[in-house]
């Protein structure tokens, strides 16, 4: 092994001074479509100093927020030149002399946002990283910090739920939707998913039910369903909306008294409209949620660490899997980013950049 060839006084952190790492990364210097503005470049990285960590990035997903950031349509604005990407799973290569809690060989994910993760290697500060078990699958670890955390927080922070309670959501086949179904199954909560009708609806329903959905209805089926009136399921205390417009209105009609609608996206680009009757007579409430804001406000809290611990445990146990995805090599980024914008499959698909290809 390499470590045996070093003199006895050489620490892993000092090994960095004997290394020369050239990183490939996807950089951009102006906003625009990813296929047009992203460039694959090479840079020699400086050795990590003090509390810095050199990370070999293993995989990094392409999220809608990443695309919107590159386009200049997202609230977070990078400083140019910028490296794209926010999520990743990586392996610690070596550490600076003042790093205390991370060791070479450990797998890490980002605690901070906007680090620039579409790269083969990067140097980050120790406090920007969180070590996770290397027993967590590559796709699960690479996608843990956004969609699973969004689902986890929305289920935990707005309504106190107990086993047997019901949650309803539109966009139920999205990556967050898939995460909600799995967490609900793990926690004994009924999960009702609403999706748009399509030719492959039977296959889609089967997939979501396998993930943990108690029932999956099309938007048309929801309007005539008696699943709640009949007592088959309790009326939902909590609804998640990532569509907006009429879809959000229809979902809100089925809430129980005092129910809460949490909006975390707006795929239809239509405003959330409120049905007057449920608003008055059921006293339903409408809230918004943005995972980036929550993460900044709870940067290094026990609450956040517990969330990651819970999610990792479910992943190691095989009770939580990554959303429908495809691994692609870094040099195929143009096709992958274009497909992320245009993919029209029955579930959609998350593309993950595989840095080892």
Catalytic residues: 74
Provide the strand spans (E) within the chain.
Answer: 21-28, 39-45, 52-61, 82-83, 89-95, 107-110, 121-125, 129-132, 166-170, 190-195, 215-218, 238-241, 244, 260-263, 270-272, 285-288, 325-329, 350-354
Q: Which residues of 44-67 are buried (b: 16+ CB within 10 A; e: fewer)?
A: ebebbeebbbbbbbbbbbbbbbbb
> What would the two tokens of residue 221 be?
């089926």
Is residue 58 within 8 Å of 51, Cβ to Cβ? Answer: no
Is residue 190 within 8 Å of 213, Cβ to Cβ? Answer: no
Is residue 26 within 8 Å of 84, Cβ to Cβ? Answer: yes
SS3 282: coil
Contacts for 342 with CB less than 8 Å, ≥ 6 apart = none
Separation of alpha carbons 235 and 229, rounded Å: 8
Separation of alpha carbons 86 and 251, rounded Å: 31
**Cβ neighbours around 95 below 10 Å, total:** 27
Separation of alpha carbons 195 and 18, rounded Å: 55
Separation of alpha carbons 45 and 19, rounded Å: 10
SS3 113: coil
């Amino acid at each position: 092994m390499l470590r045996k060839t070093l003199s006895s006084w050489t620490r892993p952190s000092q090994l960095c001074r004997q290394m020369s790492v050239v990183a490939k990364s996807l950089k951009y210097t102006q906003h625009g479509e990813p296929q047009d503005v992203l460039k694959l470049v090479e840079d020699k990285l400086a050795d990590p100093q003090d509390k810095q960590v050199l990370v070999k990035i293993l995989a990094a997903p392409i999220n809608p927020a990443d695309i919107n950031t590159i386009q200049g349509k997202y609230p977070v604005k990078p400083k140019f030149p910028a490296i794209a990407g926010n999520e990743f799973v990586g392996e610690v290569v070596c550490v600076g002399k003042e790093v205390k809690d991370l060791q070479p060989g450990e797998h890490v994910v980002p605690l901070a946002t906007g680090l620039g993760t579409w790269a083969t290697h990067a140097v980050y500060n120790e406090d920007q990283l969180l070590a996770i078990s290397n027993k967590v699958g590559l796709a699960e670890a690479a996608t843990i910090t956004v969609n699973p955390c969004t689902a986890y927080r929305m289920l935990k922070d707005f309504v106190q739920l107990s086993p047997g309670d019901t949650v309803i959501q539109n966009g139920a086949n999205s990556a967050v939707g898939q995460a909600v179904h799995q967490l609900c199954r793990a926690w004994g909560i009924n999960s009702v998913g609403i999706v748009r009708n399509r030719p492959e609806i039977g296959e889609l329903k089967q997939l979501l039910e396998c993930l943990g959905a108690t029932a999956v209805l099309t938007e048309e089926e929801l309007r005539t369903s008696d699943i709640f009136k009949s007592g088959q399921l309790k009326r939902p205390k909590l609804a998640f909306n990532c569509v907006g417009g009429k879809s959000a209105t229809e979902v809100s009609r089925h809430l129980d008294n005092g129910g809460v609608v949490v909006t975390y996206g707006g795929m239809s680009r239509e405003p959330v409209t409120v049905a007057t009757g449920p608003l008055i007579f059921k006293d339903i409430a409408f809230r918004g949620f943005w995972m980036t804001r929550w993460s900044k406000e709870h940067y290094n809290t026990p609450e956040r660490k517990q969330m990651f611990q819970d999610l990792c445990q479910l992943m190691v146990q095989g009770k939580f899997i990554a959303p429908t995805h495809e691994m692609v090599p870094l040099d195929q980024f143009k096709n992958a980013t274009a497909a992320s914008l245009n993919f029209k499959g029955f579930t959609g698909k998350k593309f993950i950049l595989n840095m080892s290809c």
